[in-house]
Homo-oligomer: A and B are copies of this chain.
Amino acid sequence: MTETLTERSQKILEAIIEEYIATAQPVGSKALARNHDIKLSPASVRNVMAELEELGYLASPHTSAGRIPTEKGYRFYVDTLLQVNDLNSRQKDQIELQYQQHGLQMADMLREASRTLSSVSHYTGLVMVPRLKVTIFRHIEFVRLSPRQILAVFVTQSGLVQNKLVEIDEELTPRDLEQITNYLNHTMTGLSIQEVRARIVAEMANEKALYDHLLRRTFALSTAALVDETTGDIIIEGTSYFLEQPEFSNLKCMKRIVQTFEQKNILIDLLDRGLDTEGVQVIIGSETKYSELADCSLITAAYSGKRGTLGTLGVIGPNRMPYSTIIPIVDYTATLISRLLDTDND
């Protein structure tokens, strides 16, 4: 809207937001003029505040309270005022320490990431488990549970194990299965699942292949086994930190948020949005597009393995979050996880 915000206004807006983040109390002109090395009288501060409110960056709960930031205020703060410091080495160590455990498998590592995000930030940690299609084929195994039921156990390059129950139309003998397994493990290793599927389609298009009974079955089975899960999985840790936030002391609204977490799908959608984004992304309040999370903000970043983005991770908390400290935490964690996934099991 209005592109004019004097440097002084910006400085005051920043001070108000930081004060509010620290105290969770509406910020008044007097306290502000006193604490934040602002060389102005409370009266002048008031003038600026009124102006900022007019422009929509601030709001006042009632006449005789101070001001609180609006979403627009937070957005401006995050976009232009905020300068994120790097973590100091002590903080980096604190995060890194959690992954020193011997031979963590990917699943454990992701859970640990969520836990660490939560405990370091004191908000709720979120980690999206990589979708099947972006993982890299390493090994597949079929176990016959019954004549028509095959359990496909699929190991990705990074040691993530996914399994899926496949119902088949025609019976397969153990011998058939063994051949199929061998074929897939020899031809597909190292390809991404997307590539594997493309390859299968390509081979099937090759008419000759269709005459090969084994190949046809292989395609049928592996297509079924590698079909994409519609919904990803997400690891949520530290929900209890939400209970500490004064803005959610209202049980009614607290419950709505916890329920939203339990359903997971909304969070999955929000994390998905960060998949194609470079660096850290901040989603504030109604930008989530979900009314349940109107008072929540997310800070997310994508992590990647050897071959591109795998998933996203982040932190969710109230709008009033200390962005300057959380952003580098999320950023560093994403980088760290990416590095670990890259070097591990090479």
Name A residues whose Cβ lies closer than 8 Å to a Cβ of B. 102-105, 138-139, 141, 143, 145-146, 149, 151, 153, 155, 159, 161, 163, 165, 167, 237-240, 243-244, 249, 251, 254-255, 258-259, 262, 345-346
Contact = CB atoms under 8 A, between A and B. Distances in A.
A200 B138 CA distance: 30
B239 A243 contact: no
B258 A239 contact: yes
A146 B143 CA distance: 24
Contacts of A254: 243
Copies in the complex: 2
Contacts of A145: 138, 159, 345
Nearest to A260: B240
Contacts of A138: 143, 145
B139 A143 contact: yes
B262 A243 contact: no
Contact of A153 (B141, B149, B240, B262): B141
A143 B163 contact: no
A161 B151 contact: yes
Nearest to A246: B251
B161 A153 contact: yes
A286 to B, nearest CB: 22
Contacts of A262: 237-240
A159 B155 contact: no
Given A238-B262, A239-B258, 4 more contacts: A139-B143, A149-B345, A153-B155, A161-B163
Nearest to A345: B145
Contacts of A249: 251
A273 B167 CA distance: 37
A307 to B, nearest CB: 17
A159 B153 contact: no
A254 B139 CA distance: 45
Contacts of A346: 146
A138, A237, A243, A259 — which one has the most chain B CB atoms within 10 A of its CB? Answer: A243
Given A251-B243, A255-B240, A345 B102 contact: no
> Which 8 pairs of residues, A with B, have the shortest CB-CB distance?
A243-B255, A240-B258, A145-B345, A161-B163, A139-B143, A240-B259, A141-B141, A103-B165
Contact of A159 (B141, B165, B238, B239): B165
Contacts of A103: 149, 165, 167
A56 to B, nearest CB: 32
A115 B124 CA distance: 22
Given A165-B105, A258-B243, A151 B159 contact: yes
A165 B102 CA distance: 10
A240 B258 CA distance: 6
A153 B153 CA distance: 8
Nearest to A155: B143
